[in-house]
Amino acid sequence: MGVLDVQRLAGNQAMRSLMTPVVVQRFESDEHLRLGDQGADRAHAEMVPLAPGYQVTYGEMIAMAGDFFGSLSQLQGIAQVPGTGAGTREEIEYVRVVKVHGDKSKKDSYSESAVRAADHRYYELALSNRSHFVNPEGEAGDTAGRAEGAHQELRLQWTGILPGFVSELVIPRAGAGYRHYHMEALFQAYVAGFEGQGIEGALAPEAFGAHYLTDAFSGGHLRTARSSIQDYWNPKVPMFGYNLTGWIAQELAARIGDAHWYGRDVAYHGVPWQAGAFEQVASKLAEKGALGFGDVVSGTIHDLDSERGVLADVNGQRIQLMGDGHLGGDTERVAVEAVNYSHNDLTRAWLIGRRRGPLQDVLPDVTAGKVLGAEQMLPNVVPDNELPDNQKSVQWEVASALDLLSDPTFQRGLRIFGVNKANELAEVANTLEPDVRPHFDPAVVQPFRTDPVTTLRKVLNWTPNTGGGLLGHNQDDNALDYYNEASGKNAVGTLTVKQRVDLIRNLLDGYTSGEEENAAFDILTANSSHSQDVIRQVGWDRLEDELGNRFSNRFPKSS
């Protein structure tokens, strides 16, 4: 059984999640809490009812929306179920207390099933969260959304009056998410006033929408083309998750195997009475979602713009909007103003309904094809041609992943991303068995913390290298396993030159079967732009000796 078999047994998806970009998402939960509590009219917005006898604060609602619960109907449905366990109100309480308020000491007071369900949903939402970004489908350098047409798209001009009819709208971007829920809230507020009821029922959709509104003021969400980056990079590097799995397995097994008498076999699988290190790590991470290289790229750009800020025009003011983890100053001020502006719209709608005014008075701007009140404050990013070099957007649309890793601006962001990821991984390490814990930090955590650029290069270039065989599996067997995996993903043409050289050398090591010869020839020829580099490094004579006439006929030896 080889290293690739070990990966499959442990679960590839579980290990891919080691690079899940937790901080790529939004203002941190406590920052959303601050914005919500400051921006709302505390006179009647302090508590938001989610179910009979159950309510949360306005700020808590903003913090939980979108990040921990995918839709308002999902959150309200869970709130309707008292008790403990997955799918009950306990999930909300766990998120509210531990995640939003940061009281980690209370985590053990919640059931394992509730915690697992809430955390799994968080990671799934984090990896499909285009709705939290202002311009998720932008192109590299398209910082302002391509003039007026895209600004109209950004704000999603609504064509209907009754948003309740499309309550499960698939939200394409932050501006659209805000408008969707704000329109629902305005309608509910108007009806409540018209029927002589309080405004409380409209607070839930208003607060849920305010999450997307505040996201639109986060520096890391303004220029990160989340969807376009994934669409561009994931097909170009389809083996990234598999490579990451193998690299982690190999590094961790090497550390443990070198430190203990029982060698790498037991390091992987464990002695009969205890799981191996790989399985321990996999079990801790199994509830996090899978990851592509596009997630690493978007996470890096997000983290860079969050820390350095993005220059934008807001309400006639040119300000530096900071991102997640950096709330304060002008960013906090304008975001609070927007939340307050939006909440005042809700009060106005309720008062119009109370005096039996026409519904058209609630939405005069919308019916005239204009933007809503708070939407007028949405930031317009200053284009690159007006910015100094150290503030320009990352040009992510390049030929190869290794080219991107050579870009100094991207490297700057990757160092921030690496530290953030290392901090997350360190928390995972603390949950492992004592004999595994000291090896996990130097094998996995520190490489991302100290040199993420080199670490990612290793992952991108990874192939199973067992030093002559591991667990009874020879180098050529491992190389053939990897080739079959890549072939199944139609990914042989996407491999790097180093991967091709290493795989071919291992395939041709020792006795070579016909299957191995065919694999080596396919690896050599799958990307013609790499072929000559591979031939130079492996050697024409060796390839001709192993692969015969089909090689020499296609690649005649130069004089």
Structure tokens at 34: 């601050």
The H-or-E segment that residue 150 falls in is helix 147-155
In 18-145, beta strands by DSSP E: 47-51, 54-57
Tell me which residue of 88, 324, 367, 50 sits closest to 211, measured CA to CA.
324
Q: Which amino acid is at 272?
A: P
- Crossing angle of helices 277-285 and 3-10, in 10° steps, is 40
User: Are the C-beta atoms of 459 and 240 separated by less than 8 Å?
Assistant: yes
CA distances 405 to 16, 122, 454, 539, Å, are: 20, 29, 9, 28
Structure tokens at 119: 């955390």
Q: What is the pLDDT along the chain (559 residues), one digit of tens a residue?
A: 232 332 232 222 222 333 333 333 444 444 444 444 554 554 344 789 999 999 999 989 999 998 899 889 999 999 999 999 999 999 999 999 999 999 999 999 999 999 999 988 888 877 666 555 555 556 544 444 333 333 333 333 333 334 443 344 455 555 677 888 888 899 999 999 999 999 999 999 999 989 888 888 889 888 888 888 989 999 999 999 888 877 887 887 778 765 554 444 444 444 333 445 445 554 554 445 567 899 899 999 999 999 999 999 998 899 999 987 777 788 889 988 998 889 888 999 999 999 999 988 887 655 445 566 788 888 889 999 999 999 999 999 999 999 999 999 999 999 999 998 888 778 777 777 777 778 888 988 999 999 999 999 999 999 987 543 334 346 668 899 999 999 999 999 999 999 999 999 999 988 888 999 999 999 999 999 999 999 999 999 999 999 999 999 999 998 5
* Residue 451 exposed, middle or buried by CB count within 10 Å (0-12, 13-18, 19+): middle
In the chain, the largest separation of any two C-alpha atoms, in whole Å, equals 94
Helix intervals (H) in 489-539: 497-507, 514-525, 528-538
CA distances 75 to 87, 222, 369, 376, Å, are: 10, 27, 31, 29
DSSP string of 371-425, one letter each residue: --TGGGGS-EEPPGGGS-GGGSPP----S-HHHHHT-HHHHHHHHHHHHHHHHHH
The H-or-E segment that residue 178 falls in is helix 174-194
Instruction: Tell me the per-residue pLDDT of 342-362, one tens digit each, with 9 for 90 and over.
Output: 988 899 999 999 999 998 888
User: Are the C-beta atoms of 366 and 372 separated by less than 8 Å?
Assistant: yes
Tell me which residue of 235, 274, 237, 252 sits closest to 7, measured CA to CA.
252
**CA 264, CA 244: separation in Å to the nearest integer?**
19
Domain range annotation of the chain = 467-558
Residues 6+ apart with CB under 8 A from 530: 497, 500
**CA 456, CA 409: separation in Å to the nearest integer?**
16
Structure tokens at 361: 């008075």
**CA 79, CA 56: separation in Å to the nearest integer?**
10
Both ends of the chain: CA-CA distance in Å? 44
Residues 6+ apart with CB under 8 A from 528: none
Q: What is the DSSP letter of 146?
A: S
Report residue 148: phi and psi, to 5°.
-65, -35
User: Are the C-beta atoms of 9 and 487 separated by less than 8 Å?
Assistant: no
**CA 126, CA 151: separation in Å to the nearest integer?**
25
**CA 338, CA 371: separation in Å to the nearest integer?**
13
User: Are the C-beta atoms of 67 and 83 separated by less than 8 Å?
Assistant: no
